[in-house]
Amino acid sequence: MIDLLIGPISSLLDKVIPDADERNRLAFEISTLAEKQAHEISKAQISVNKTEASSHSMFVAGWRPFCGWVTTLGLACNFLFIPIANFFLTLTESPVTVPPLDLSEMMPVLLGMLGLGGLRTWEKTQGVARP
């Protein structure tokens, strides 16, 4: 959105501000405005994450482990329990089969958490992790 405004604003600066150095400085500030805002939002989210992770309340800090266990259980159901159940249902000549779970919405959550866990493990092996 801001990228669409940079061109017209730069052309206005050419007309309003005669000093080339001041005009370039203002054009640079305008062009980096979106990046600065995104950086501030990221810093605020990191602060919230630190506060949540350090909480001793199960309702605040417990959601991350809960998401991990739920996604792991869903993965185990899809690749262990459902195939085993279908195997036994086939052995008993039952017409019922258990359909597999749709993992399209769960896998990004699980893979994101695994990625963060991998980064944490890497930090520990490098000796830069906090206790």
Domain boundary, last residue among 14, 30, 56? 56
Domain with 39, as residue range(s), is 1-56
Most confident of 2-11, 48-57, 68-77, 95-104: 95-104
Domain boundary, last residue among 13, 34, 56? 56
Decide which of 82 and 113 is more confident: 82
State how far the Cα of 124 lies from the Cα of 131, in Å rounded to an integer.
Answer: 9
79 and 130 co-located in one domain: yes
49 and 78 co-located in one domain: no
Backbone φ, ψ for residue 88 (5° rounding): -70, -35
68 and 128 co-located in one domain: yes
Q: Is pLDDT at 119 greater than 80 in this prediction?
A: no
